[in-house]
Structure formats: C-alpha cells, structure tokens
Chain A
Amino acid sequence: MATTEKFVLNMGPQHPSTHGVLQVQVELDGENIVGAKPVMGYLHRGIEKLMESRTYQQCVPFTDRLDYVSSMNNNLGFCMAVEKLAGIEVPERAQYIRTICCELNRIASHHVFIGSLTNDLGSATGMIYAFRDREKILDLFNIICGARMTCHYIRIGGVIADAQDEFLQKTEEFINYVPEMLDEYDRLFTGNEIFQKRMQGTSIISKEDALRFGMSGPNIRASGWDYDIRKIDKYGIYGKLDFDIPVGKTGDNWDRYIIRLQEIVESAKIIRQCLDNMPEGPFMAKVPKMLKPPKGDAYHRVENTRGELGFYVVSDGTNKPYRVHIRRPSFINLQALDHMCKGMVLADAVTAFATIDPLMGEVDC
C-alpha cells in the first residue's frame, strides 16, 4: 500500500530568499515542516582573529563589516568598549552626533527588513519602495562621512569629523518625511488582507522559549518582554531622551513586523530631540595615536537593530588587543528557527527567516 515519507529539502546557500548565504536543511512531510536546521559559516572571514593583529584604531573598520547594514551601531559598540577599557571620556557634542547616526542607521536597517520581507512574500514593489526610502538615508551618510554603507565614522574618542549644517538640515527634512513614508507602507502592506493572512498567527514563539534561546532585540520584544538595552544600561545620552519601547503580544510574524515599524517612529522621535538640543563643542576627545589601554578586559553592549550586540575586549598593555570577542545577536536569534518553524508550512518558514531578520555578515563574523 502507498506510504508517505519525510524528505529533506536543502534550501541551500544560493537561494532567492535566504538573506545572504544561509543554508537551511528543512525536513518536510508534504508541505508541513518537521524540522529546520540552519547551517552557518559560509561567510566566515575570521574578523575576530584578524583584530588580534591590528591596532585599536585599525580594528574599527573591521567592525563595519559585521552587520553591514547598520554599521554605525557596530562601530559604536566597539568604540565604547575600548573607551571603557582605556578610560576615555567622549565630549557631549560627539555623543549627540553618534546618537543621531545610530538612530538613522536603525531606520535604514528596518527599511532593509521591510524590503526583503515583502520581496520574500512575493511583492517586488515593496522592496523597491523600501530601498528608495533607504537611499535618502544613505545620501545623508554620504554627506557626513563619505561612505554610504561601511561608514567608519564613529571612532575611539568621538567622531572623526563634525556634522555640517547641510547634514543637520537634511536630517530634519528627512524626519519630517517619515510619517508620510510610513503611511504609504501602511496603505500598501499593513492594511492588505493577503499580507495579514500570511503573517498573523504563524511562527509563534512564546516569551519563555525566546528567553531560553537567548533572543534579544525586536524578536523578543514581539513576544512580550520589554527588554531594551537603551533603557536598561542608559549608555551615551539615552538617559536624557524620552522615547517608548514598542512591545508585542503574541510573538508571531505580524508582531515582529509591526514592532519594527513602530521602532522607526520612536527613532524619529529620538533624532528630533537630539537635533533640538545639540550642544556646541569639540567632536573628538584627545586620544593618543598609539593607544595603549591598561591591562584588563571590558565588555560593553549596545542595542543593535537586531538585538544585543556585545564587544568583549581583552588588553595586555600593548597597542593591539589580545582578544576581541563579539556577541552577535543574529547568530543567537537564528538558533530559534527550528522551534519557530515546526508545524508550519514551507511558505511560513520563509516568512520566519525574513522576520527574524538575520544578517549573514553578523552570523558568521
């Protein structure tokens, strides 16, 4: 008599919708998923090892290439860890400029999320609209530091060059444009019944399970736990700013999507407060060219767009770090893929990859 059996579908490193080179071995029973095993490592470049033979200032451009879509946040994490280790204090104006750049980068990274999510769901127009808006932010980065994606702007001790008036004025224009931009996404996607049917109630992960896996960032905020390092550690000037943290209820794909849209609104609020209260002053502290921090170690974590990004820097007194370890949020968030995909259809697995929002440069380091 006829029997059915499970088969393993290899959504391999070259696939239109695995966000980079991620291989997922999906075990299917018809169209239902029984297991999904991610295989990582196709983009490993040995960044942590490379950093052991570079000076501290030379390490900073390598951090750009970890989470290459939100590079300002990575630079910030590393620089703050080294500043903690070496006891450097960053001037006020530099902190305000750093915050503006990081929040702009958060908005840009969420645009990549929206674009790749809608592209995976089948609507190529969503990708183009999201990337068109991201171009405006990349133009802002072009003005302030000369590079669009791998910015290398935030340095140990501050920022490398002052924010010009042109940058501040164009940022203000962009912030005024944000509500109109989000309204277009609401009309095109959030209100769309097909989109809602696809996303609501699929790939649910509960708060306890998410905590067990060690997820962080918007993924765990969607499951109901309001954990945002900007509010807990209050690094930089986040203690002085007034913003809310969007928290979801069920932890399904829909919540992860809506929370990121709301985070764009909150980031715009933060940028507006920074623009209004920006002090005058120096933009870089006095850092020696040959930086030799005292022996010891330091761990500093920042709220990256994807979660908690932590840098653990060990120094042995010379001008090169002895060891740098990076706690990468996408690597840890991706472990929950198997749990999220069990019992779902193949189409929901693709949506789950998209809403976890992994970035392979960060997963593989």
Chain B
Amino acid sequence: MHNGILYLAGQSLKELMLPIIGSELIVNLIMTLICIGILFMLVAVSALVFTLGERKVCAWIQVRIGPNRVGPWGLLQSTADMLKLLTKEDIIPHGVDRWMWALSPILIFIPAAMVYALYPFDDGVIFADVNIGLFLLIAISSQSVLPFLMGGYASNSKYAMLGGMRTVAQMLSYEVPMVIALMGIVMITGSLKMSAIVEAQSNIWFIFLQPIAFLIFMVTCLVESNRPPFNMVEGESEIIAGPFTEYTGMRWALFFLAEFANLLSIGILTATLFLGGWQGPDFLPGQLWFWIKAFLMVLIYQWIGWTFPRTRMDTILSFGWKVLLPLALVNLLLTGFGIYIFKWLL
C-alpha cells in the first residue's frame, strides 16, 4: 500500500540488516537512530540553505545582488557565517541569572527541532505517527514561549525585558485562533493523525474546502514564528533584538537555527495541512512534491515578510482577539453545517 521511495528504501534496509543481526528489536533500534540522525541533519541543512536563501531572496526583492563573494554565487556563505559564529567571544553580561540565561537558547531550539518528528514526509514516512499527531505538534511548539521570557528576564537588560513581555502577549494570544482554525480540518478528516489528514486530501485539497482557515492559519503562522511583519519580539528598530540582545556567538547561533527551523516548519505545515502534503500527479515522486510545496510556501512567507512594515503591538493583539478569533469560530460553524449537509446529501 505504501509505495513512496523513502518507505521502500527503509524497508529494504531493514530486510538487509535482519539476517546479519538476527534480533528484530535491535534492527528497529538502529533504524530509529538512523531516522533521528536524518531529522537532525534536516534541521541543520535547513539552517544552511536558508542562511543564504533568505539573504538572496531579500536582496532580489531589494533590486540588488545578494551575497556573491564567498564561493560561486555566494554558495559558501553559510559556511562562512557558521565559522564566524563559532569563533566569537562568549560574552556573559554582568548580573545575569546564569542558569536561566544559558538554558534559554537551548530550550528554544529543542521544540523547534522536535516537531520534525511529526511531519509526514512521504507515503508512510513519519518518524512518529501517533494518534494525536496534530495536537502533539501544537503542544510542543507552544513550549517555545517560556524560554523567550526566560531569556528576556535573565538578561538583566531593559530591552530584553520588553522583548520578553511582548513575546508572551503575542505568541500566547495567537495560539487560540490557530487551534480553532485547524479544528475545521480535524472535523472534516475525523482524526488527529497526520497521515490521515494527508490521505483525506486525496480528492480535493483543504485549501479549497477551508479558504478562511487557510488565511487565518497563514497569519497565525507568521505571528508564531516571529517573522516580519509580526516581528515585534525582535523588532530591530525599537528594542534592538528583544530577548536575543545579550547573546553572542554560538548561543545566538542556536536562536538563529531555531528561527530557520521554524521557517521551514511553517512551510511544511501549510503544505501538509492545506496543500495535500506529498500527494501529486505521478510524473514526479511524492517526496519531490512535498519539498516543492514546502519551499513554495516558504518563498511566499519570505515574500510577505520583506514587503510589509512591522505592525504595532496593540494593533496585532486587537486584530487577533477581535478579528481572527470570531472569524475562526465562524469558520468552525460553517464547517459543521457543511459536513451535515454533505452527509444528508449522500
């Protein structure tokens, strides 16, 4: 039934190892470790690709040529950036709360990387296909609110404190419309399993069935991952870098990695939940469709980000509570009616 390339490759590897090792348990353990390695590599590669990709896209929108000195067409720019960040001096400001300050970047990176375990990359290729997939995903990604506040508080700096306060207000208040918008999808699918959601889109993609939810989801995704035009948390012209102000070198690199991992995450999520995931016409393998859709969504998010100015804190809070939340509830109501009418027609 499952016939994606990666699934078949995984199965053949398993069958290769089984006679050599003998115990099925150990083979499964080895496969798990290999998958974890691949997921980490994915996060690392996303950071590498986006360090250059974001700068190139940003430059082309701004009528200039992006980085082009390091390597042909600037391809080694990511390596140069990583080397620079690794060799920076580790400055610890005076008066910081040591443990909280040091833990904050780590605790932001962990949820950003962990959600990759729940994405359906191909037919049957998910690391953890649990029954509550979508719910777990949202729960894990909301964990990144507290470390922002930790970083902001522990940095002993007024700018960081302002940034931390803004995070809590902004990110928490946009969880609600996001969840309610996604509930429409869950109602149509009838299950929270990620692979079931993708399979339910085999006839028609959810973007056509739930256009309002798609728009709400796009806006809340941008808010949750602190992308412009909603990047008040690290609003560069007002509070310099918000909770990240006092971090340098590898600690800042962790924030940076988490941000790009988030960018790829929201691209993958939008592609999976609304655009049909890995499904597509047969002339290209399913895996390739998945990546095409994810990168297309990432490009759209970058395009939006580099065009618009930043909103103000009170504007987006009132927008989220007074506009998006009622709209999401209306969408839920309409979806409910739609499902009843559909069942009655059949």
Contact = CB atoms under 8 A, between A and B. Distances in A.
Direct contact of A and B (CB under 8 A): yes
Interface of A: 7, 9-10, 15-17, 31, 118-126, 128-129, 132, 188-189, 192, 194-195, 197-198, 345-348, 350
Given A31-B162, A122-B231, A129-B63, A16 B308 contact: no
B236 interface: yes
B23 to A, nearest CB: 57
Interface of B: 58, 61-64, 158-159, 162, 165, 228-229, 231-232, 235-240, 306-315
B157 to A, nearest CB: 10
A125 B158 contact: no
Interface SS majority for chain A: helix
Nearest to B159: A9
Nearest to B232: A347
A120 B159 contact: no
Nearest to A350: B238
A194 B158 contact: no
A347 B313 contact: yes
Contacts of A31: 162, 165, 313
A16 B236 contact: yes
A2 B245 CA distance: 27
Contacts of B232: 347
Contact of A16 (B240, B306, B311, B315): B240
Contacts of B158: 7, 9-10
Nearest to B240: A16
B309 A123 contact: yes
A188 B63 CA distance: 15
A225 B309 CA distance: 30
A20 to B, nearest CB: 14
B309 A192 contact: yes
22 contacts: A9-B159, A10-B158, A16-B240, A17-B237, A17-B238, A31-B162, A31-B313, A120-B237, A123-B229, A124-B306, A125-B62, A125-B306, A125-B307, A194-B229, A194-B308, A197-B312, A345-B313, A347-B238, A347-B310, A347-B312, A350-B237, A350-B238
B310 A121 contact: yes
Given A122-B236, A194-B309, 4 more contacts: A7-B158, A125-B307, A192-B309, A347-B313
A122 B229 contact: yes
Nearest to A346: B238
A122, A123, A126, A188 — which one has the most chain B CB atoms within 10 A of its CB? A122
Contacts, number: 83
Given A9-B159, A15-B240, A120-B237, A192 B308 contact: yes
A296 B283 CA distance: 89
A128 B62 contact: yes
Closest 8 CB pairs of A and B: A122-B310, A17-B237, A121-B309, A128-B62, A123-B309, A120-B237, A122-B309, A347-B312
Given A9-B158, A16-B237, A194-B308, A125 B314 contact: no
B94 to A, nearest CB: 16
A188 B231 CA distance: 19
B237 A126 contact: no
A203 to B, nearest CB: 12
B309 A198 contact: yes
A194 B228 CA distance: 12
Contacts of A118: 309
Given A132-B63, A197-B312, A197-B315, A119 B307 contact: no
A143 B60 CA distance: 29
B62 A194 contact: no
Given A9-B158, A346-B162, A198 B311 contact: yes
A329 B315 CA distance: 33
A205 to B, nearest CB: 19
A194 to B, nearest CB: 5
Nearest to A354: B237
A348 B306 CA distance: 21
A123 B308 contact: yes
A198 B311 CA distance: 7
A120 B306 CA distance: 14
B45 to A, nearest CB: 26
B314 A345 contact: yes
Contacts of A192: 308-309
B307 A123 contact: yes
Nearest to A126: B309
Contacts of A16: 236-237, 240
Contacts of B162: 9, 31, 346
A122 B306 contact: no
Contacts of B62: 124-125, 128-129
Given A17-B238, A122-B237, A129-B63, A348 B309 contact: no
Contacts of A189: 309
A109 to B, nearest CB: 20
Nearest to A7: B158
A346 B231 CA distance: 15
Nearest to A14: B240
Nearest to A31: B313
Nearest to B64: A128
Nearest to B241: A16
A303 B51 CA distance: 47
B156 to A, nearest CB: 13
Nearest to B235: A122
Contacts of A347: 232, 235, 238, 310, 312-313
Nearest to B311: A194
Nearest to B312: A347
A346 B240 CA distance: 13
A346 B239 CA distance: 9
Contacts of A132: 63
Contacts of A125: 61-62, 306-307
A156 B110 CA distance: 68
Contacts of B312: 197-198, 345, 347-348
Nearest to A128: B62
Contacts of A188: 307
Contacts of B228: 122-123
Nearest to B306: A125
A16, A31, A347 — which one has the most chain B CB atoms within 10 A of its CB? A347
B232, B312, B315 — which one has the most chain A CB atoms within 10 A of its CB? B312
Contacts of B238: 17, 346-347, 350
A348 B229 CA distance: 16
Contacts of A194: 229, 308-311
